[in-house]
């Protein structure tokens, strides 16, 4: 496999492709006269001849059929009678339509900056990478009207037609969008009418993930006791066993929908962070009052009740770890970043939006433990184990996971949560710049792996 320049400068009416000698010898067989050319999910059969140089030269009807530009450098997979050009990967998201246009959409400045980083990395590897929404696809043409970024000069965004890609990276931005009819329909159509490989990367729900991981013997002992919330008796049941418990909304994120309960006497004390981040505390005195409070605080959403833990502390404040685990170009899991989230003053969770702060995980472990390097290795090995177990138990092909790992005062590791679309706030500090870039690079590695060009 190698990169070749492809140019459209043949005026013939028939599909014709001129191949450098090395490629010509790879694709020819005894009945050799034509070759099947594939780019994404578009194909054409073309007559083939030797190229006068090391450039692939094609006729205009080939570029029109495959939606190729007039000149492009691409990787080539070649075997008898077949040429595959690529890789080409689409990033599926959701966004408002652009001035009411069916095939166009608009995304905000922050998301443009975020996506442009991946497109720049991909361009340096001769990968075609573009953004699209479900409404951008013309299923009859097997084509997508996508948006991409050109980093040259001051940088610009352009829209053009692409073939349905080799693979799709699912970056639908939130749970509400994930269950929209157009998103669900598009993912189903990719499965049934194309050969496109789609990263599922749907949002995990807390109870669903807890259930699948309890069946994994190597992980079960690291899961806090968790039951579904089915009324206040569920809470009483857990408080009879544990001095501190949490109710967590299954679809919650950023610490929203997490309530801490304690029962120091016959009454129950609660605390939780409102969406503004402000800490709210109070006491309930009877079962009816407790039930009404929980219904209001959780907005009647599906929730779980989870055992509280005596967490290890830094500067008298509990902390947990966020491990970002991603697949590399060979499809193997690697820990890309490890951050420590330290709770704010009297904070219920360690989330930054609730007053917490983020520091380098390796720095904190080496500061707190005499043999910090060994503890760091233990955490990283555990994160890889969780990633493999999550993929195995869920039955999904995953590429990126963020997991919240806690260490209790005895040094035991606990798994709080696994997210398929982790937030990137842990990469925001300046000290995380190296890990941030490594994460971007490895996400492009994963897209390349999905496309079938992972050996490039």
Whether pLDDT at 202 is above 70: no
The CATH code of the domain at 206-222+310-451 is 3.30.470.20
Question: Cα 137 vs. chain centroid, distance in angstroms?
Answer: 22
CA distance 360 to 293: 37
- 92 Cβ contact list (under 8 Å, min separation 6): 132, 133, 134, 168, 169, 170, 171, 172, 183, 186, 198
Residues pairing with 45 in the sheet:
36
List the end-to-end C-alpha distance of the chain, in Å, as a whole number.
7
> Could you tell me what percent of the chain has a pLDDT over 70?
93
- Asked if 212 and 372 touch (Cβ cutoff 8 Å), the reply is no
Question: Cα 114 vs. chain centroid, distance in angstroms?
Answer: 13
pLDDT in tens, 308-335: 999 999 988 899 999 999 999 999 999 9
pLDDT in tens, 369-388: 888 789 999 999 999 999 99
- Asked if 131 and 90 touch (Cβ cutoff 8 Å), the reply is yes
DSSP, collapsed to helix, strand or coil, labels residue 235 as helix
Sign of CA dihedral 117, 120, 125, 129: positive
- Residue range 87-104: average pLDDT? 86
**Following DSSP, what letter does each residue of 397-429 receive, concatenated?**
---EEEEEEEEBTT--EEEEEEESS--SGGG-S
Residue 24's nearest CA partner among 84, 79, 85, 87 is 79
Token code pair at residue 369: 């433990």
The residue assigned the tokens 């981040």 is 277
Q: Residue 119 burial (CB < 10 Å; 0-12/13-18/19+)?
A: buried
The pLDDT of residue 231 is 92
pLDDT in tens, 131-167: 999 999 999 999 999 999 998 877 899 999 999 999 9
| Domain residue spans of the chain | 2-86, 88-198, 206-222+310-451, 226-307
Task: Indicate the range of 116-120, 256-260, 403-407 predicted with least confidence.
Answer: 256-260
pLDDT in tens, 234-252: 999 999 999 999 998 887 6
DSSP, collapsed to helix, strand or coil, labels residue 110 as helix
DSSP classification of residue 161: E
- Residue range 35-52: average pLDDT? 94
Please state which architecture CATH assigns to domain 88-198: 3-Layer(aba) Sandwich (3.40)
Token code pair at residue 205: 């729900």
pLDDT in tens, 429-445: 899 999 999 999 999 99
Residue 92's nearest CA partner among 120, 134, 40 is 134
- Residue range 86-112: average pLDDT? 87
The CATH code of the domain at 2-86 is 2.40.40.20
Q: How many helices (H) and strands (E) does the chain have?
A: 12, 26
Residue 238's nearest CA partner among 294, 173, 281 is 294
């Amino acid at each position: 496999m190698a990169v070749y320049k492809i140019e459209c400068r043949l005026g013939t009416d028939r599909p014709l492709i001129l191949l450098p000698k090395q490629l010509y010898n790879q694709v020819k067989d005894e009945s050799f006269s034509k070759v099947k050319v594939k780019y994404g999910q578009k194909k054409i059969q073309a007559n083939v001849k030797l190229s006068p140089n090391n450039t692939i030269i094609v006729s205009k009807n080939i570029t029109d059929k495959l939606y190729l530009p007039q000149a492009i450098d691409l990787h080539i997979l070649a075997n008898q009678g077949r040429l595959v050009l690529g890789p080409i990967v689409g990033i599926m998201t959701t966004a408002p339509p652009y001035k009411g246009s069916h095939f166009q959409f608009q995304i905000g400045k922050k998301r443009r900056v975020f996506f442009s980083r991946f497109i720049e990395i991909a361009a340096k590897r001769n990968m075609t990478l573009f953004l699209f929404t479900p409404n951008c696809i013309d299923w009859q043409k097997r084509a997508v009207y996508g948006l991409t970024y050109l980093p040259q000069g001051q940088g610009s965004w352009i829209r053009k037609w692409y073939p349905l890609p080799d693979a799709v990276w699912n970056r639908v931005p939130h749970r509400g969008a994930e269950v929209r009819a157009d998103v669900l329909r598009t993912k189903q159509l990719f499965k049934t009418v194309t050969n496109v490989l789609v990263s599922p990367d749907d949002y995990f729900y807390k109870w669903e993930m807890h259930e699948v991981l309890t069946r994994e013997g190597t992980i079960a002992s690291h899961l806090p006791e968790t039951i579904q919330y089915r009324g206040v008796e569920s809470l009483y049941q857990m408080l009879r066993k544990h001095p501190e418990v949490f109710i967590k909304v299954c679809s919650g994120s950023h610490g929203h929908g997490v309530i801490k309960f304690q029962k120091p006497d016959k009454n129950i004390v609660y605390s939780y962070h409102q969406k503004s981040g402000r800490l709210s505390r109070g006491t309930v005195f009877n079962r009816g009052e407790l039930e009404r409070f929980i219904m209001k605080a959780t907005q009647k959403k599906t929730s779980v009740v989870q055992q509280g833990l005596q967490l290890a502390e830094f500067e008298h404040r509990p902390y947990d770890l966020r491990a970002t685990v991603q697949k590399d170009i060979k499809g193997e899991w690697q820990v890309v970043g490890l951050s420590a989230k330290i709770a704010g003053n009297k904070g219920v969770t360690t989330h930054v939006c609730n007053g917490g702060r983020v520091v380098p995980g390796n720095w904190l472990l080496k500061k707190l433990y005499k043999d910090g390097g060994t503890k760091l290795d233990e955490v990283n090995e555990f994160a890889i184990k969780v990633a493999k177990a999550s993929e195995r138990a869920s039955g999904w092909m995953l590429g990126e996971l963020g997991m919240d790992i806690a260490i209790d005062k005895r040094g035991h590791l606990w798994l709080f949560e696994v997210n398929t679309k982790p937030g990137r706030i842990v990469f925001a500090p300046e000290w995380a710049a190296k890990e941030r870039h490594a994460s971007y690079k490895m996400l492009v590695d994963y897209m390349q792996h999905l496309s079938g060009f992972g050996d490039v």
